[in-house]
Copies of this chain bind each other. A is one copy, B any other.
Amino acid sequence: MHRQPNVHIHLGDCLPILQGMESGSVNLAYLDPPFFTQKVHRLAPRDRSREFSFDDLWSSQKEYATFLFERLSEIRRVVADDGSVFFHCDRNAVHLARAIMDDVFGSENFRSEIIWHYRRWSNSQRGLLPTHQTILYYTQSDNYTFNEIWTEYSPATNVDQILQRRSRDGSNKSVYARDEQGNAIPNGTKRGVPLSDVWDIPFLNPKAKERTGYPTQKPLLLLERIISLATNEGDCVLDPFCGSGTSLVAAQLLNRTAIGIDLSEDAVEITKQRLEEPIMSQSRLLDVGREAYRNADDNALAILQGVDYVPVQRNAGIDAILKQDFAGGPITVLVQRPGETLLEAARKLSKASASKGAKLMFLIAMSRGGCFDFAEELPTGVVVIESPALGIREHLDKLKRPDVLLEKASYLPPVKPESLFETL
């Protein structure tokens, strides 16, 4: 048994250790037990010098159910009256876990089925890519600790709706309240939308420094959210299958005390190290948000509708690549931006495409950009395509020319698109 200021780590099966604990002494239990996946998890740590592994092969579902049932029953005893339990489930065991939890804690104490959603790699082509895990949230009683977390309004939300007070009219319809002068009544400050049960938190990235090399490691952010939802400072967090100790690190960072238990010596060792030197990887994605990566903005891409393309987001010189190849290389596309000449755009596209091996590039012209004579200077392989805006604008300009009679103008023959290829 190792002792950190406010964190206790035990080595061994959690059942006897739980049995030795005082009733009601824990405010939050988080469990991520080994699952009945019939696979041995195996992963080399970052330095590739050691291997961790644990065996979660249970001879039958019944045996596994009993294993869980015994430990959960003890957990129920040690959790305080206003305490909570979060049970992290493999998708192959959710229903089993739910049934056992209903049995132990009572279905009336089931609060939420939390979906942890993340994006992930895979080359799976037949079937849907699994990108979520489930966390079952139960409380000991109706009177549980819950700290609200507010998130941002959806971009689609009508601001009026948020800012104006509402009332019911004669027929009990919800309407905006008005004062005597008919003005809207402000509704005070708004905190946002209450946290939902679907959590979008990035999966722990293979390159993250936060990684310990221990299998099934969870992101710190996930545990921080759980702990701050269900406990207050000074409360006690229990993790009976603590693995690499993410929950304990999170508890420590949030000024909670914590008790961790694990069967594996490696796990306990790693956890001790992490507690002394907690590393939370600096995630740019989390810092700046997913949106910050988008430089192929939707406006630009909307111009491309009707084309089969893949949007490209992390490259200033390329908005999209076509799904089709050409001469062994990709076909890249850029939409000219406001305030940028056609030639500038073409050079950007050409430069960015060079390293991608593209031999054909399409540039969508939004304006003439002060450069009518670009043909000679245009980088090799760049093909300019007009946007409708440009076509419309130029056509209108043409109609203003003194030598074009207005009456005749409305009878203009349509432009034959074939003329585009006259230069071929």
Contacts and interface: CB of A to CB of B under 8 A. Distances in A.
A244 interface: no
A279 interface: no
A305 B312 contact: no
A344 interface: no
A395 interface: yes
Given A184-B355, A388-B386, A413 B423 contact: yes
Contacts of A190: 310, 321, 323, 330
A395 B388 contact: no
A276 interface: no
A282 interface: no
A418 B100 CA distance: 62
A234 interface: no
B95 A375 contact: no
Interface string A140-161: 0000001010001111111110
A314 B385 contact: no
B324 A396 contact: yes
A233 interface: no
B290 A128 contact: no
Interface residues of A, number: 173
Contacts of A48: 70, 73-74, 76-77
A420 to B, nearest CB: 5
B414 A357 contact: no
A129 B137 CA distance: 13
Interface stretch (A20-28, A193-201, A235-243): A193-201
Contact of A395 (B198, B312, B328, B383): B383
Interface string A79-95: 00000000000011011
B126 A146 contact: yes
A177 to B, nearest CB: 12
19 contacts: A43-B106, A120-B196, A125-B194, A128-B196, A131-B196, A131-B198, A190-B323, A190-B330, A302-B303, A306-B366, A306-B388, A333-B392, A362-B395, A372-B418, A380-B411, A386-B417, A386-B420, A390-B417, A419-B423
